[in-house]
């Protein structure tokens, strides 16, 4: 008994020492645990103001069709909170679970990366970025282009920066954990180094998007939220203000994640991309940029060593049942699907996603697409 007590005392002492000497972001990660869809409640946030909201019209078959029970069980497995299907700019189906509703905000997680890409497109359209081949040091002179490599804006957009970064989500000490729970993102980003030649190999890294956001802020002199409100949220007629979580009070946006909005407002992003950059008869992002952003960066090698055929400028792509799909995705089952052949947009929000992949996409993706295809086929 005394031996057991001594062992417990030693273990508790070690844990106490780890707690006392661990970086603040590690303590925050231990306190809050796994990231959640309502983490805006634990972070500081900056509002992304909307203007006059434009309400979606309902299709004549609005919510008449029901999700098949077998498919619904998969929705339940991954903690679906919202599912919205639009065809021809009208909502066919809209459903919420787990206490969520039309007004419930959810963390976008990496869907935010696609939003940042759209804002880069706005800067290209305005002529404030002359070329995606420009080195990022034109705008971020404090970033050290280590090992003699030239890091371009395009390399950040295509996740081919070659930056030394571990995208591990379960490691308490990973840079991704530090970015999420830490309190000074600019210092963390500027201190990064390049370990391999940029523009060669696709390697998904959140730091790329955060650096893009720093370029946006440097060029515009505005916060990321302010610029997103001006260029996207107000022109698209969002019905609710969004929240973008910050690294500290009055700090910078966690640009690679943490754009918090409602399902039907997320759908506006999909509809604008579907309509080649237009919304409500206003050109928001140029057709030229969107075509580039939603075309696979095949000059890169993918994770399998083959030419990259599933990622563009912070957007994913797949082909399923002969339909080409462009989509934004987040780690806990956040998806905006754009399906041009059906003139459709599908939004899924949830609390988890499949750990299994098919053609570089989480397997739950195909259930949501199957349900949407079924609703549209019966329209």
23 within a domain of the structure (yes/no): no
Task: Answer whether residue 30 shows pLDDT above 80.
Answer: no
39 within a domain of the structure (yes/no): no
33 within a domain of the structure (yes/no): no
Taking residues 266-273, report their average pLDDT. 98
Angle at 192 between CA 36 and CA 255, to 5 degrees: 35
122 within a domain of the structure (yes/no): yes
14 within a domain of the structure (yes/no): no
For residue 73, the number of C-alpha atoms closer than 13 Å in the C-beta half-sphere is 2
Model pLDDT for residues 140-177, shown as the tens digit of each residue: 999 976 677 889 999 999 999 999 999 987 777 789 99
28 within a domain of the structure (yes/no): no
363 within a domain of the structure (yes/no): yes
Mean of the per-residue pLDDT values of the chain? 93
Task: Answer whether residue 20 shows pLDDT above 60.
Answer: no
5 within a domain of the structure (yes/no): no
Taking residues 125-147, report their average pLDDT. 91
For residue 193, the number of C-alpha atoms closer than 13 Å in the C-beta half-sphere is 4
| Domain span holding position 359 | 52-377
Model pLDDT for residues 35-55, shown as the tens digit of each residue: 999 999 999 999 999 998 999
Q: Where are the alpha helices (DSSP H) in 275-356?
A: 287-293
CATH classification at residue 80: 3.40.710.10
User: What is the tally of structural domains in the chain?
Assistant: 1
DSSP code per residue over 40-72: GGTS-EEEE---S--PPEEPTTTTTS---HHHH
pLDDT at 168: 82
pLDDT at 172: 79
| 148 DSSP assignment | G
Task: Answer whether residue 237 shows pLDDT above 70.
Answer: yes
pLDDT at 116: 98
pTM of the model: 0.94
């Amino acid at each position: 008994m005394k031996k057991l007590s001594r062992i417990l005392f030693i273990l508790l002492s070690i844990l106490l020492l780890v707690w006392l000497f661990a970086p603040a972001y590690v303590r925050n990660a231990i306190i809050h645990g796994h990231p959640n869809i309502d983490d805006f409640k634990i972070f500081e946030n900056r509002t992304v103001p909307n203007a006059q909201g434009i309400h979606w019209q309902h299709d004549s078959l609005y919510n008449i069709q029901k999700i098949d029970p077998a498919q619904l069980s998969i929705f339940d497995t991954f903690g679906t909170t919202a599912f919205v299907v639009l065809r021809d700019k009208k909502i066919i189906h809209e459903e919420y679970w787990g206490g969520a509703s039309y007004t419930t905000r959810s963390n976008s997680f990496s869907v935010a990366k696609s939003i940042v890409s759209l804002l880069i497109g706005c800067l290209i359209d305005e002529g404030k970025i002359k070329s995606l081949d420009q080195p990022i040091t034109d705008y971020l002179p404090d970033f050290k282009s280590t090992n003699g490599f030239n890091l371009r804006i395009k390399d950040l957009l295509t996740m081919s920066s070659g930056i030394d970064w571990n995208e591990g989500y379960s490691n308490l000490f990973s840079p991704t954990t530090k970015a999420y729970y830490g309190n000074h993102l600019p210092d963390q980003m500027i201190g990064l180094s390049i370990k391999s030649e940029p523009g060669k190999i696709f390697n998904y890294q959140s730091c790329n998007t955060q650096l893009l956001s720093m370029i946006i802020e440097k060029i515009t002199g505005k916060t990321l939220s302010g610029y997103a409100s001006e260029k996207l949220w107000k022109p698209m007629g969002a019905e609710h203000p969004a929240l973008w979580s910050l690294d500290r009070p009055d700090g910078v946006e966690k640009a690679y994640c943490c754009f918090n909005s409602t399902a039907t407002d997320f759908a506006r992003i999909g509809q604008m991309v579907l309509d080649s950059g237009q919304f409500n008869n206003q050109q928001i992002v140029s057709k030229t940029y969107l075509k580039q952003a939603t075309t696979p960066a095949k000059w890169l090698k993918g994770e399998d060593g083959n030419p990259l055929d599933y990622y563009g400028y912070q957007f994913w792509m797949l082909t399923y049942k002969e339909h080409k799909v462009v989509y934004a995705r987040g780690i806990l089952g956040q998806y905006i699907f754009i399906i041009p052949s059906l003139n459709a947009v599908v939004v899924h929000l949830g609390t988890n996603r499949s750990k299994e992949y098919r053609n570089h996409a989480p397997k739950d993706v195909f259930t949501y697409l199957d349900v949407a295809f079924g609703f549209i086929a019966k329209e």
